[in-house]
Structure 1
């Protein structure tokens, strides 16, 4: 997560002091993110609340804000705006939280924040950032984190045999053409693109989602494709988790074959996604938890890990899309004492198929933007087909 701000009136040393002192204060109630993860085997982790602390970096850069254009994430984000993380060391040496405050030549500033997804999801991270900003402004903590994981039966044995078949929900699907060799993977280059949708285009898409006209012929009719949807399970259980619950939610996957998706109208794909969301009920959530608890080895489900042996390294697998909806997450308007940001968004990602849905520009009500990571060779065709009927 990266925030960009115009030149503040506050001095550089004063801002650094404010951020450091307020971070120290917010880590008291949010103490788990000052700890470290520890592998316990079978693809499982424990969170050791050992107080080793977070990493905070202050940096100055020659580039100006205008040099980042429309702030579409690029390799420059990783190179200059995010503290480097050494993933070659044991995981218990990797910080759970890192942040970097950067001052540009023009006086503009940025604040990047990265938190382990094993520890917290987007909603939890948004709460953390909001409370950090609140303390930086000299205000009191408003929503303390609820750290009791018993809300989702953490640490308890499975209560029953899963009532649903989750084998496809957490599984993986092959590449559209073939599993690439190590040499082919090394040549694959990804980039991030921003696809803008004005209000009129959004309305057109909504109509298309209910349109029964047929699509195009699929190039590989038998290929399976997945649309990974992040679902907040807090509100899906009959006894909702406490306000401020700090942790992670589960996800669900809508799957079909390329032939079905391409030959059927867009409404077919929309129904598949809607059906995947609607099936996540109270019973489904607890069944999924029991399923994972009954599995002796979880590594096979960690498809986005760099150690993944399916899909090739960092690549999610090119028939698949993983979309995170940030429209309803409270990431906007983070004022640390020098005003609200002029832009916020994710950092640079290298996983083919990762996507984020964001609000569009402030001067275009109802507009949206899609940030998407694609193989460079696929960008032109994907962009063409994305806008073709809009």
Structure 2
């Protein structure tokens, strides 16, 4: 569930005024790029909308120059990030697995306009349905060869400001790679719009080959068999020479738990997909205050990151809000960058998907009774368990046919963007007023984003079922 801005229906219209195919300025010889199992998990587009408010700036006077600058900047970026101009393709000889056909087919860029003023959207950090009109969503008819991997829409608002809505196939880039790609595009566009003659060369060139992450190319084989899990008798970590992907094991257990459950409320939770998406602002000072509150005045020599304390706090608040039976299994999962976890490490500038999920599983009663410090320690144990063997086991576990994840209320899933300050991507100005993600294929995911006004703060966007929102808000904001 989302809200619409409060203005008349006649003002909701966003009109497309121009559509262009954008090709690399430098054409690369066509080739097939093998994808890893991590790339194949989610071939859909992920969308992000940047807002640039009107200022006394010539860039905002001439709409044609904005479109032309973005188009030329994208042409330059695609010359280096050439897979983004390609298409996905199915390999019949390998079970119809997805690979990337680097064929220079190009990206799609649209120009649009609306009478709406950016100020009418209210708090830009809060999701509303109108944001869906600010991105281009190509129709997928099952033919990957016709689906552009990068799409963008630049929309001029009635106030003179702009939004830039960008969609990128998740099979192409993960978060850090998408951030680097957008920074390169924005840098080239800004130079062109300011009529500078020389383009800036990238500090590091992207590496598109998946290399180590292709199955069979790990430095050593991961042992097979039942191995260490982060849930043993609901609590302890058990060392083992054998490795399994705890995140996949725990997810399977959650699905089996949901299937075995009975009762009208549980059935309702499994079917309902009408999520509320709400952003909570946590300033750097508030996060430090939370650390002192939950760990004691001097924290007893215990230190933790902002991610760790907010993740622990989120999990406790959500578990309390669910009101699940104390013996019910609940799970916290979060993405871990595997670039330096695999052996050999991935090269600097690696552009593919390199994140796997780490996982902590406890009973609802244990989460409610546990201190924040105990949960932080569990989070650290889960993160440290992500080794080269874990990554290989994870990739083997996700090798099968991809299916959509059913809504599981006992799963808390976090995507940490705090090291990717998307709002600083300067397409039209040095920084956007806000960069807002649209709803992901997993609507309950919680995004941790850097607060544009406080780089030590965190904006947490989370998807919740409506009947849990009030309780979650109370527990999250009061820590009681």
Within-5 A mapping of 1:201-240 = 201-207=286-292, 210=295, 219-237=324-342, 239-240=344-345
Of 205, 215, 229 in structure 2, the residue corresponding to residue 144 of structure 1 is 205
- Distance in 1 separating the partners of 2:268 and 2:90: 30
Q: 1:334 to 1:167 in 2, by over 3 A?
A: closer
> How far 1:53 moved relative to its partner?
1.7
Is the 1:56–1:98 Cα contact (8 Å) retained in structure 2? yes
Query: In structure 1, how many angstroms separate the alpha carbons of the residues matched to 2:339 and 2:117?
Result: 41
The answer as to whether partners of 1:190 and 1:376 remain within 8 angstroms in 2 is yes
Q: Does the alignment pair 1:165 with 2:165?
A: no
Unaligned regions of 5+ residues in structure 2, if any? Answer: 1-47, 192-198, 225-241, 300-315
Moved more, 69-78 or 338-347: 338-347
- For 2:288 and 2:269, the matched residues in 1 are separated by 40
Deviation at 1:32, TM superposition (A): 1.1
Matches of 1:219 and 1:249, distance apart in 2: 34
Distance 1:343 1:210 in 2: 32
Q: Which residue of structure 1 aligns with residue 348 of structure 2?
A: 243
Matches within 5 A, 1:165-204: 165-166=244-245, 168-169=247-248, 171-172=251-252, 173-174=254-255, 188-204=273-289
The partner residue of 2:128 within 67, 74, 77 is 74
Matched-pair contact (CA < 8 Å) for 2:52–2:432: yes
Find out whether 1:2 has 2:49 as its counterpart: yes
> Quick check: 1:376 aligned with 2:376?
no
- For the pair 1:347 / 2:438, whether they are aligned, the reply is yes
1:232-264 Cα distance to aligned partner (Å, 9 max, x none): 111224543222111001322222221211122
1:356 aligned residue (434, 447, 460)? 447
TM-score (norm 2): 0.69
Three-state SS of the structure 1 residue aligned to 2:58 is: coil
SS in structure 2 of the partner of residue 2 of structure 1 = strand
Partners of 2:332 and 2:411 within 8 A in 1: yes
Partners in 2 of 1:155 and 1:46 — Cα distance? 17
1:297 to 397, 400, 424: 400
Residue of structure 1 aligned with 2:75, choices 8, 19, 24: 24
3-state SS of paired residue (1:111): strand
Q: Cα–Cα, structure 1 residues 97 and 179, in superposed 2: closer, same or farther, change >3 Å?
A: farther
| TM-score of the two chains, using structure 1 as the length reference | 0.84
Alpha carbons 1:208, 1:266 under 8 Å: kept: no
User: What SS class does the counterpart of residue 248 from structure 2 fall into?
Assistant: coil
CA distance in 1, matches of 2:465, 2:90: 32
Give the Cα–Cα distance (whole angstroms) in 2 for the partners of residues 237 and 350 of structure 1: 27
Instruction: Quote the residue 1:113 is aligned against.
Output: 166
Residue 95 in 1 paired to residue 148 in 2? Answer: yes
Q: Between Structure 1 and Structure 2, how many residues are aligned?
A: 371
From the superposition, tell whether residues 219 and 125 of structure 1 become closer, same or farther in structure 2 (CA, over 3 Å): same
d(CA) in 1 for partners of 2:84, 2:187: 18
Evaluate the alpha carbon distance shift between residue 115 and residue 350 of structure 1 in structure 2; reply closer, same or farther with a 3 A threshold: closer
> Partner residue of 1:13?
64
Deviation at 1:167, TM superposition (A): 5.7
C-alpha distance in 1 between matches for 2:274 and 2:392:
39
1:352-372 alpha-carbon deviations (Å, 9 max, x no partner)? 42111122351x563322111
Contact persistence 2:329–2:364 (CA under 8 A): yes
Residue pair 1:350, 1:373 contacting (<8 A) in 2 also: no
Radius of gyration: which is bigger? 2
Shift of 1:45: 1.8
Output the CA distance in 2 between the equivalents of 1:21 and 1:232: 32
RMSD (CA atoms): 3.0
Distance 1:209 1:246, change over 3 A: farther
Question: What's the secondary structure of 2:83's corresponding residue?
Answer: helix
**Matched residues in 2 for 1:34 and 1:85: separation?**
15
Distance in 1, Cα, partners of 2:98 & 2:263: 29
